[in-house]
Amino acid sequence: MTTQNVPAQLFFLYDSHCPWSYVATKLVNEINNAFPDITLNLWHAAFFDGKNGQATSIKVNEIKEVEKLANVHFSSNYRDLLEQNKDSILSANLMTWAQNKTPNLALPLLNALQKAHFEHGNKLANQADLDEIISELKLSPPAKVFKSDKLSKDALMQLEEIYALQEIINTEAIPALLLAVDDQLILLNHNFYLTEPKAIVEAIQLELNKYSYQVK
């Protein structure tokens, strides 16, 4: 299975602290494994800023819905954090840097961050929370990444790109998965595949087949 003859990109709009994004990342993993030639754009939406009260906390009912629709179970360590405000600014800075500077490690980094947060209850709110992950992946992010009180310049620029893309697809909902083939942009309904992530590979292949004739 290959996409070498089809210029294609995958855009994943997400937040590292969003439980729906966590389960959708499994789909991104499947796509990346099956189609390594598709350019992967991991765009952190920085939704959780830790400052908007109830808007940045997550309710038990929402977690139960994610568990039901995605056939997952969230750890007690994570559940202990539910009523606390979430702050993903630091993760947004780190992920944006990784996407720009070491794109081959961006997806492993996202998986590591989500595992730390959703499985081990790591808040990912300060540099110490990230040190082990950064060390394991042998990353060397600059000091500006660790300013947890504000988004980096690169992260802000990426947000502008996210807003522009959201305007095109007419939704601000995250997560969002979009496949771009040549000048075509296809919004993938990730909810269809949450219980069977491998099924999205076939859906991607069908979309690629539609446009392959353009590059023969």
- For residue 43, which of 3, 97, 7, 86 has the smallest C-alpha distance? 97
Residue 212: predicted pLDDT: 67
94: in domain: yes
Spatial distance between the Cα atoms of 88 and 56, rounded to a whole number of angstroms: 10
95: in domain: yes
3-class state of residue 48 by DSSP? coil
- List per-block mean pLDDT (blocks of 10 residues) for the chain, which spans 216 residues: 65 97 97 95 90 65 94 94 89 97 97 97 95 97 88 95 94 94 90 93 91 51
- Total tally of structural domains belonging to the chain: 1
Residue 58: predicted pLDDT: 83
99: in domain: yes
50: in domain: yes
33: in domain: yes
1: in domain: no
The domain that holds 166 is classified in CATH as: 3.40.30.10
3: in domain: no
83: in domain: yes
Residue 59: predicted pLDDT: 86
Residue 55: predicted pLDDT: 52
Structural domain that includes position 131:
8-215
